[in-house]
Amino acid sequence: MINKINIVRYDSEGHREQEDIIVRELRANLIINGELYLSMMCLPEHFEELAVGFMFSEGLIKSYEDIKNINATCTGNIFVFTNEPIRVSKTEGRVVTSGCANGTVNLSFLNEKNLQQLESDITFSYDTIVEMMQKFSKQSPIFIETGAVHSAALLFKDGTEIFFEDIGRHNAVDKLVGTALMKKLPISEGVLLISGRISSEIALKTSRLGIPVLVSQSAPTSMSVAIAEKVNLTLVGFARGRRFNVYTGAFRIN
């Protein structure tokens, strides 16, 4: 997942040539039923999990069983065939960048009557959240080497854990979800941990997935808090050391 290159390092003592490590980035093409749906800039691994998670979070499939066949090449072409046809014309050729947003966010979702409400009464203790985040913060080998990726984890009360790193937070989350679907894990009973800020599209993606608790080492935005309030999502930020802030849904933390 990394490349070694020669760079020139500058500091107070001058400059010198040395070897450095950078993360590899690849354009993955999601091809559904023979047609290009979109391309994603990501780490060159776990393409199938990425495709399954993305399609589920976008509402293209309702379960892994909706996929008849999936196959990914080492060059990043992901071929997916579904049991039912999927229209791709409106998004054909669209590119999801390696930034944090999965395209543009339409703010009209705040008025949608059918926005999914998170009714889960699952709870997590203060100590559990602290222990989860302390372990999570030490679990990013590619970030430690390169400083160029985000990480995400999906944890369950029985100790089951899925962890991924990727260039974009949304990619890491989609890989988690794809893995959970392929392993038939109950996504809605987990807690989602992410390394970066909680932006609107991450809060919206979390609610669409039915995940009731979202925890980050960093801060939420005002729009993510508004979304969390509307959908009954427990939003936890600045989870560092033995402290964290609960912005919405504090009833799930005891």
Catalytic residue among 2, 21, 26, 100: 100
Question: How far is the C-alpha of 226 from the C-alpha of 216, rounded, in Å?
Answer: 17
- For 62, other C-beta atoms within 10 Å of its C-beta total 11
Sequence-distant (6+) residues with CB within 8 A of 49 are 164, 174, 175, 178, 179, 182
Two tokens at 245?
């802030």
Question: How far is the C-alpha of 61 from the C-alpha of 64, rounded, in Å?
Answer: 7
Sequence-distant (6+) residues with CB within 8 A of 240 are 133, 137, 217
Is residue 10 packed enough to be buried (19+ CB in 10 Å), middle (13-18) or exposed (0-12)?
A: exposed
Please say if 42 is a catalytic residue: no
Report the catalytic residues: 100
